[in-house]
Structure 1
Amino acid sequence: MSSHHIVRDDQEPALIIANGEACSMELLNQLLEWSPLVIVLDSAMDRVAPLGIKVDVLLGDFDRGFDPVIHDNYQYPIEIVYTPDQDKTDLEKAFDYLVDRGIPAANVVWATGRRADHSIANMTNIVRHKNELKIVVLDDNSKIYRLPERFQKWYTAGTVISLIPVGTVTGISSENLEYELDDDTLQIGYRVGNSNSAKKDGTVTISYKTGDLLMMECFD
């Protein structure tokens, strides 16, 4: 069974494995190397178990007949966290768990693909903990996170960048994008910043005034 890197001060991001489309083992192993804590959500454990990953926490409402106890012996020690609240998704409950543990950041995999409703919920719900957790959702084709109100990062020319509002986002301005924004408003379902890109090698700057804006760095 492969272990994962232990960071005693819990400052590196925890890794949450949800129950959507699996990512490549290359990406998964990169994240495992620096994760102080690995959380698997509910029945995804049946898919994670054959991969030989040491899991620290198994969390969920354990419905549909899933029995978490069968994983107890070979994963020992493992913490089994029963979270029956049906008003939150298992991923939201995992975020709550990390906040309670005082862990400041999380990478999330297997959160996209498969069911569209789960994918949309998993991508947009990350804004709920914007003041408590730094959350990044990753798959083999994209990296998704909430932008701070002022953001700067160096990109190579042509890097695909999509700006997706959760609700309505106002006062969006940019520098070094192919399609610049100048005090613009984006609103989900009406206007989004899909398939933009870095205009040239260098720093991309994005700022906005109100709302929650998701960055999606896309790798075709």
Structure 2
Amino acid sequence: MKNTKVFLLLNGETPIKIPNVSEYDIICATDGAYQYLEKNNIIPNFIAGDFDSLKNIPKEIEVFDTPNQDFTDFDKILQILFDKGFTKIDIYGASGKEQDHFLGNLHTAIQWKEKLTLTFFDNYNRYFLADNSTELANCKNKIVSLIPFPKATNIVTEGLEYPLINEDLTFGERIGTRNRGVQDAIKITFKTGNLFIFINHK
């Protein structure tokens, strides 16, 4: 189960270009995102939500009714995936539209960071919570931003135009936006905190 690759679609900004879902072992979505899959003839393994406005779901699709309002739809579907033993999840539709949802999704990612490997994709970037030591390939000439949430300490970077050498970043004081890869391979390490890495597609 650990190596099973999961495609998860949330109800944010939908992909301009349909991802190659054939690369995924599991396809799932929150109920608000299901219409995008239906429109593009993509049949998910399951969907989850309260289904207030969604009707006529094909019987071959497993449905999880999750009415508990103490948790977000994103958190609830991550719990379902975790309970099923899936830990590597690519997430689309987490940003765009209402930005409080986007920030809430980053919050949820931090809550699950010890249990799940989450990579987010939107129409501009891929982004994820960095490990304390993260190595990335194919980064030359791409915009790379380092966003602490809310703080990351003793950051060291290799392969970026503006290197950090044992420096701290704190949201509201100093963040690391719009840096650039000067070589294909870059390395980022830090000691404590939470650090999101955003890499522009272009």
Calculate the TM-score normalised by the size of structure 1: 0.85
Provide the secondary structure at the position in 1 that maps to 2:137: strand
Provide the secondary structure at the position in 2 that maps to 1:92: helix
Provide the secondary structure at the position in 2 that maps to 1:120: helix
How far does the alpha carbon of each residue in 1:28-59 deviate from its partner, in whole angstroms, 9 at most, with x for none?
A: 2x2x1121111110222233322111111110
Partner of 2:14: 22
Alpha-carbon offset, residue 216 of structure 1:
0.5
Distance across 2 between alignment mates of 1:166 and 1:25:
29
Name the amino acid aligned to 1:191: R
Partner of 1:52: 41
Aligned with residue 179 of structure 1, among 162, 165, 175: 162
Aligned with residue 106 of structure 1, among 62, 84, 89: 89
Distance across 1 between alignment mates of 2:127 and 2:38:
26
How far does the alpha carbon of each residue in 1:81-123 deviate from its partner, in whole angstroms, 9 at most, with x for none?
A: 1112222211111111111111121111111111111122223
Runs of 5+ consecutive residues of structure 1 not aligned to the other structure: 1-8
Alpha-carbon offset, residue 10 of structure 1:
6.5
Asked if the contact 2:5/2:25 (under 8 Å) is kept, the reply is yes
Asked if the contact 2:126/2:198 (under 8 Å) is kept, the reply is yes
How far does the alpha carbon of each residue in 1:123-174 deviate from its partner, in whole angstroms, 9 at most, with x for none?
A: 3421221121111110121001111101112334321101111111111111
Matched, 1:127 2:119: no
Asked if the contact 1:98/1:104 (under 8 Å) is kept, the reply is yes
Runs of 5+ consecutive residues of structure 2 not aligned to the other structure: none
Name the amino acid aligned to 1:25: K
Asked if the contact 1:123/1:137 (under 8 Å) is kept, the reply is no
Calculate the TM-score normalised by the size of structure 2: 0.92
More helix per residue:
1
Identity of aligned residues (%): 25
Change (3 A) 1:124 1:163: farther
Alpha-carbon offset, residue 66 of structure 1:
1.6
Aligned with residue 191 of structure 2, among 206, 209, 217: 209
Provide the secondary structure at the position in 1 that maps to 2:185: strand
Report how many aligned residue pairs link the two structures. Answer: 202
Distance across 2 between alignment mates of 1:79 and 1:214:
33
Asked if the contact 2:128/2:198 (under 8 Å) is kept, the reply is yes
Asked if the contact 1:19/1:41 (under 8 Å) is kept, the reply is yes
Asked if the contact 1:165/1:192 (under 8 Å) is kept, the reply is yes
CA RMSD of aligned residues (A): 1.7
Alpha-carbon offset, residue 15 of structure 1:
0.9
Provide the secondary structure at the position in 2 that maps to 1:183: strand
Name the amino acid aligned to 1:104: T
Matched, 1:66 2:53: yes
Distance across 2 between alignment mates of 1:181 and 1:216:
16
Aligned with residue 142 of structure 1, among 125, 145, 150: 125
Matched, 1:92 2:80: no
